[in-house]
Each structure stands twice: as structure tokens, then as C-alpha cells.
């Protein structure tokens, strides 16, 4: 009996091992991962017909709105000030290298001209313009990469079955037709990857809506995506360690290794990392939410992410009229100004040799180690760099030498005054 159990366990193990080896990323996918890592900074856009309610993207379920009533919003959606080029220019000015746009959020409304549902921006609104098309063209024009958010869960369709944890008050009468829903999603994703190419990443969300063990058909869906665009990076905001077939690991509202928001206890993988964060409190536009983070705080978040080898995907929720909120545009402009000066110490770097600390982080590129001092109350800073030889140390901003001494344990930096910049960067050249 024991032998049989052992054989069964062994064969289960070998199945797992074989499955774990199934996905071999294509060379262009590996290249896209490195390019993604180098980019370090992206802007997340949560925009849909929910912006008209101005209560965030969860209004439909938070307010228990009937799905048929909610759908009427579409016939009034006319974002007269939407201008894809203006968006992309403001985003490029922030120093961000990519945009992740909500092609379809949990409310089930498609922000492109899809053939697989009339509940979309072209067929269901008087605006009739394919927002995604305009955005993808503007992105290509200004050299910004496009990622697409796609919700796995749906609060609108009857065939999103079984009902998940959320969206139970929207009045849908769901039927046992998961198969048609799954086909619908795959058709839409195929459309996105065919008509709006190149899409650098598909960013899934909603896995957490179903009970553990629910079969979302991810391996087949992921294989389809990689067949259509081998370089396309797959991310899934399931709040777990990455699944087979994924190319990026995502964290939400927390830096990798932290878990203040409750979504991020998972192990950190060797995949490229990205953490998404709101600029104010909500993802989608909320009229009462003016609780914007300060520019220094946003820069710190970006730098602390880079020091943890992660990208920052910073969210903006456009207004119902199609404009990005002025408060967000102003913050993006100021982050961009900072990036103009300090971009060299962020773009193309990897997490540095000294692990993140309360005072700041380090980033590394070639023989340069950038010490980002964000919060130091001292005129000295010891870096445990045993085994590394420092050739020179300068203040990155003005190239003035920084005093340092070195022994086997590491390097001691000494300053004339307590570093007070938003980010006082010391550039160390290593031997
Ligand atoms: O439910 C969504 C939420 O609306 C938003 O899109 C965020 C972005 O990370 N993700 C989900 C919650 O985990």
C-alpha cells in the first residue's frame, strides 16, 4: 500500500515537474522582459463608463447597481475632451515608458470596437470612437509601450458563471455557461492582440473572485496569447506567486516584500516585478478623492520600487469628460522633471548591492552603484559592501566628490550636512 502511495506521489510530482517545464519563453519574450525591467516606470489608466458616476471603478458593485440600469450609462458617455495624444504626451512627460490601459474592467464594458459584444465604446455610446485604437496609435507615435488590463471577472454578463465573490448585487441571472464566457474572453483577447498590435503585456485581474481551485483555463489562454504574440508579457494580479506561463509578477499597493494593503504576502519570484499604486486613493475617477500623494512621496515610491528591482505602475483615473485630472498631470510633470535629472540612476538599473533600508535603496547599472538617500537623519552612512572595492564616490547631481572610507566590512560615506534632497543620490564607481 505504502509503495502504491509512494508511486502515486512520485508520478504526481513528475507531472508537476513536467508542467513546470512546459512554458519556455520565446527569445523575443525574454527580450521584452529585459526591456520591461529597464523601463522602470509606467502609468496605469483606469477608465470606463464608471467614470461618469465619479465613485471609482467599483461603483457598480459597491452601490449594488442593477446591471441593466448601469448599462444605460453607456448611451450618455461622450468624453468630449478625450484626446489620446494629449494623454500620451502628458504620460511621456512624466518619464513613464509605458501605459497600462483598462480595456475591459469588472463592469464588463469594452473600451474598444469589439465584434464579440455590443456593449462597447463604439456600438453603445454616442461617442462612437475606438478609444483603444486612438490610444495605441498615439503610443506608437510617441514611443510609449502599450499594456492592456483585462478583467477575468465580469459583473454584467450572464455567462460569467458561477457568480464570484463580488458583483452579487447587480441582478444578473447567471447560467451554467462558463464555456461561452471563456470563449468570449479568448475571442476578445485574440482581437486585442490582432488589431491593436503590438501589445507588450496583457494584465489580467479578477482571478481572486472565484473560490480557490476554480479552473480559469489559464494554461490554454496563456498559450494562446504567446502563440499570437510570443513577446507579449503575461501578468496576472491574482495576489499569488506567479503561475506557469506568466512573465511578470505583480504587487498591488505595496512594494515587493511588504504587505500593508493585504494583497501581497506572496513570495518574490525571479520574474520581472511590478507594483501598482494609486496617485490618490482610488483607481477609477472619484470626484471626492483629492487625497493625492505628494510629488516627493511618489518619487520615493518609484525609487524604492527600483531598489527592490521592481517597476512602478502609477495610476491615473481620467475624468468622464476624457481629461486626465489636472492634479495628476501636474504631478506627472514634476516627476518627469526629476526623471530628466535622475533618470540615469533609475532606468536600466537593477536592485543594488545593498538591500533596501529605511534610509533608502541602492540601484545598480554596470560598475555604478547608485545610493538613493531618501530619509537620513545623519551625516554619515555605512554601506555593508564587503567584497566590493569603491573607486570613487560623487554626488550624482553636481559631481562633487563625497568623502568615503572603506574597510573589509564596507564603505562609510561622510557628508558635510545631513542630505536633504528629495533623493540625494551618491554615485559609487566600483572596481
Ligand atoms: O478590483 C481591482 C481594482 O478595481 C483595480 O483594478 C486594481 C488594480 O490593481 N485591481 C483589483 C483589485 O485587486
Residue 381 C-alpha cell reads as: 552612512
Q: Alpha-carbon distance 140 to 138, whole Å?
A: 5
Ligand 1 atom closest to 58 (CA): 4
**For atom 7 of ligand 1, which residue has the closest CA?**
283
Please name the residues in contact with 359: beta carbons below 8 A apart, sequence gap of 6 or more. Answer: 373, 374, 375, 376, 381
Task: Report the pLDDT value the prediction gives residue 416, as an integer from 0 to 100.
Answer: 96
Q: 204: CA distance to ligand 1 center in Å?
A: 10
SS (H, E, C) the chain: CHHHHHHHHHHHHHHHHHHHCCCCCCHHHHHHHHHHHHHCEEEEECCCHHHHCCECCCHHHHCCCCHHHHHHHHHHCCCCCCCHHHHHHHHHHCCCCEEEEEEECCCCCECCCCCCCCCECCCCCCCCCCHHHHHHHHHHHHCCEEEEEEECCCCCCCCCCCCCCCCCCCCCCCCCCHHHHHHHHHHHHHHHHHHCCCCCEEEEECHHHCCCCCCCCHHHHHHHHHHHCCCCEEEECCCCCCCCCCCCEEEECCCCCCCCCCCCCCCCCCCCEEEEEECCCCCCCECCCCCCCCHHHHHHHHHHHHHCCEEEEEEECCCCCCCCCHHHHHHHHHHHHHHHHHHHHCCCCEECCCCCECCEEEEEECCEEEEEECCCCCCEEEECCCCCCEEEEEECCCCCECEEEEECCEEEEECCCCCCCCCEEEEEEEC
**For atom 1 of ligand 1, which residue has the closest CA?**
206
Residues with CB under 6 A from ligand 1: 57-58, 205, 237, 252, 276, 283
128-133 contacts at long range (C-beta below 8 A, 24 or more positions apart): 129/82, 131/47, 131/82, 131/84, 132/101, 132/103, 132/192, 132/196, 133/195, 133/196
pLDDT digits (tens, 9 = 90+) for 368-395: 999 999 999 999 999 999 989 999 999 9
Ligand 1 atom closest to 276 (CA): 9
Q: 312: CA distance to ligand 1 center in Å?
A: 15
Ligand 1 atom closest to 105 (CA): 6
Strand order in the sheet with 403-407: 380-383, 410-414, 403-407
For the chain, the maximum distance between any two Cα atoms, rounded to a whole number of angstroms, is 74
Q: 207: CA distance to ligand 1 center in Å?
A: 11
Task: Report the pLDDT value the prediction gives residue 197, as an integer from 0 to 100.
Answer: 78
Residue 208 has phi, psi (to 5 degrees) of -70, -5
Please, are residues 201 and 272 in contact by the beta-carbon 8 Å criterion?
Answer: no
Q: 148: CA distance to ligand 1 center in Å?
A: 13
pLDDT lower than 70: segments of the chain: 1-21
Task: Report the pLDDT value the prediction gives residue 10, as an integer from 0 to 100.
Answer: 36
| Whole-structure pTM value | 0.94
Amino acid at each position: 500500500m505504502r509503495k502504491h502511495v509512494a508511486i502515486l506521489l512520485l508520478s504526481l510530482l513528475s507531472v508537476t515537474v513536467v508542467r513546470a517545464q512546459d512554458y519556455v519563453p520565446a527569445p523575443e519574450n525574454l527580450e521584452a522582459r529585459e526591456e520591461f525591467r529597464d523601463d522602470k516606470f509606467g502609468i496605469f489608466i483606469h477608465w470606463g463608463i464608471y467614470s461618469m458616476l465619479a465613485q471609482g471603478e467599483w461603483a457598480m458593485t459597491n452601490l449594488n447597481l442593477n446591471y441593466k440600469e448601469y448599462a444605460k450609462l453607456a448611451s450618455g458617455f461622450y468624453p468630449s475632451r478625450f484626446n489620446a495624444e494629449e494623454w500620451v504626451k502628458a504620460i511621456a512627460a512624466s518619464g513613464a515608458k509605458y501605459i497600462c490601459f483598462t480595456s475591459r474592467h469588472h463592469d464588463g464594458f469594452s473600451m474598444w470596437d469589439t465584434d464579440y459584444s455590443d456593449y462597447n465604446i463604439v456600438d453603445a455610446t454616442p461617442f462612437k470612437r475606438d478609444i483603444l485604437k486612438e490610444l495605441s496609435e498615439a503610443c506608437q507615435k510617441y514611443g510609449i509601450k502599450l499594456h492592456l488590463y483585462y478583467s477575468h471577472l465580469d459583473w454584467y454578463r450572464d455567462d460569467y458563471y458561477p457568480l464570484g465573490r463580488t458583483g452579487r448585487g447587480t441582478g444578473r441571472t447567471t447560467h451554467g455557461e462558463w464555456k461561452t464566457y471563456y470563449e468570449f474572453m479568448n475571442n476578445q483577447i485574440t482581437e486585442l492582440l490582432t488589431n491593436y498590435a503590438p501589445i507588450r503585456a496583457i494584465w489580467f485581474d479578477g482571478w481572486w473572485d472565484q473560490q480557490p481551485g476554480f479552473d480559469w483555463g489559464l494554461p490554454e489562454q496563456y498559450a494562446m496569447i504567446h502563440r499570437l504574440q510570443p513577446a507579449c508579457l503575461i501578468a496576472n494580479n491574482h495576489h499569488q506567486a506567479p503561475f506557469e506561463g506568466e512573465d511578470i509578477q505583480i504587487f498591488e499597493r505595496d512594494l515587493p516584500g511588504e504587505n500593508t494593503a493585504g494583497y501581497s504576502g506572496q513570495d518574490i519570484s525571479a520574474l520581472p516585478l511590478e507594483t501598482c499604486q494609486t496617485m490618490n486613493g482610488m483607481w477609477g475617477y472619484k470626484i471626492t478623492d483629492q487625497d493625492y500623494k505628494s510629488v516627493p512621496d511618489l518619487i520615493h515610491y518609484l525609487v524604492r520600487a527600483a531598489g527592490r528591482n521592481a517597476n512602478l505602475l502609477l495610476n491615473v483615473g481620467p475624468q468622464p469628460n476624457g481629461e486626465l485630472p489636472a492634479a495628476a498631470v501636474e504631478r506627472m510633470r514634476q516627476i518627469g522633471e526629476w526623471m530628466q535629472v535622475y533618470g540615469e540612476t533609475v532606468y536600466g538599473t537593477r536592485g543594488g548591492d545593498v538591500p533596501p533600508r529605511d534610509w533608502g535603496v541602492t540601484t545598480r547599472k554596470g560598475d555604478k552603484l547608485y545610493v538613493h538617500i531618501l530619509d537620513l537623519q545623519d551625516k554619515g552612512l555605512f554601506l555593508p559592501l564587503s567584497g566590493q572595492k569603491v573607486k570613487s564616490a560623487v554626488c550624482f547631481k553636481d559631481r562633487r566628490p563625497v568623502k568615503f572610507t572603506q574597510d573589509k566590512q564596507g564603505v562609510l560615506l561622510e557628508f558635510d550636512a545631513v542630505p536633504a534632497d528629495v533623493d540625494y543620490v551618491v554615485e559609487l564607481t566600483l572596481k
